[in-house]
Amino acid sequence: MNVVRSAIRTGPLVALAMGLLLLATACGTEPEPTPETEPEMSLEDILARTGENLTALSTAKFQMIDEEETGAKFFGATLKNVNGEVQSPDSAKLVVEIESAALGFAEVQIVAVGDEAFMKFSAGAPWNPLPLDQVPFNFVGLGITLSDLLPLVQNATIAGEESLGSGPAVLVEGTLVSEDLSTLITSADSGHPIDLTLWIGKADQVLRQIRIAGQIFDDDGPGTSRLIILSDYGAPVEIQLPDTASGT
């Protein structure tokens, strides 16, 4: 009899405990909301936004490297690399590192603003006028030039991702012919196939690097490859024509 009474008294307590346990379990296993993820951008969207960013470029710094040093001679010397700054719409300052048997290692400076350009072959040399059509590299208006180049890329594909100092970059590979580069590389010869690789910031669709593999000039050696590295978008730069009277 006592056992029956005990069971009657404890029955409701057990049921209540079981109910609370089930309720706690249900609350604890409630599924967490799935975080929303942005859809992957298409190649067309990436290139379109990259072009927009290039068109809006105000200032930038860049380096161009002849990776195999097999490119056509620069005023009779081997071009090592080019460092420069650009400012929209029409200003550029270049330091071209060259090496030759006659000069040894030297730095050629070129400044172009508007329709005028000047060059000097060493730090102490005088500045001399340089016709714009003789400037081998047209980095004046670089943003527009590169933006106009993007629609010319053929067989473009996303080849993967690579981490650069500025963060993850999407690799876009495609092809061109050498004459497509004539607005960037002055007097480019025609008929040479070019393999192009673009490194585009994954987060901001800003062009970080561009590799131009192949002959641009007839005098380029086999395997010539030029790498252009872009940086410091929007950073202050100062580009002025030299005072030819004082030599500065």
Sheet holding 104-113, edge to edge: 128-129, 116-120, 104-113, 91-100, 78-87, 59-66, 225-231, 207-213, 193-201, 167-177, 154-164
Phi-psi region of 4 (alpha: psi -120 to 50; beta: other; left: phi over 0): alpha
Q: What is the DSSP string of 117-158?
A: EEEESSTTSPPEE--GGG-SB--TTHHHHHHHHGGG-EEEEE
Q: Which residue has the higher pLDDT, 204 or 6?
A: 204
The number of residues making up the chain comes to: 248
Give me the mean pLDDT over the 44-53 stretch: 96
How far apart are alpha carbons 82 and 137 in whole angstroms?
A: 10
Quote the distance between the C-alpha of residue 61 and its chain's center. 11
- What's the confidence (pLDDT) of residue 30? 52
Task: Check: pTM over 0.85? Answer yes or no.
Answer: no
- The CA–CA distances, whole Å, from 210 to 11, 113, 161, 176 equal 78, 24, 14, 13
**What are the tokens at 72?**
């056509």
Please state, for a pLDDT cut of 70, what percent of the chain lies above it: 83
| Average pLDDT value over all residues in the chain | 85
Say if strands 167-177 and 154-164 run parallel, antiparallel, or are unpaired: antiparallel
Residue 24's pLDDT band (cuts 50, 70, 90) = very low
How far apart are alpha carbons 233 and 62 in whole angstroms?
A: 10
How far apart are alpha carbons 59 and 174 in whole angstroms?
A: 27
CATH top class, domain 43-231: mainly beta
- Whether the per-residue pLDDT at 33 is higher than 60: the answer is no
How far apart are alpha carbons 80 and 65 in whole angstroms?
A: 6
- What's the confidence (pLDDT) of residue 14? 46
How far apart are alpha carbons 134 and 239 in whole angstroms?
A: 20
**What are the tokens at 45?**
């969207």
- Whether the per-residue pLDDT at 27 is higher than 80: the answer is no
Q: Which residue has the higher pLDDT, 243 or 181?
A: 181
* pLDDT tens figures, 51-97: 999 999 999 999 999 999 999 988 888 989 999 999 999 999 999 99
Strand, coil or helix: what is 18?
Answer: helix
- What's the confidence (pLDDT) of residue 107? 92
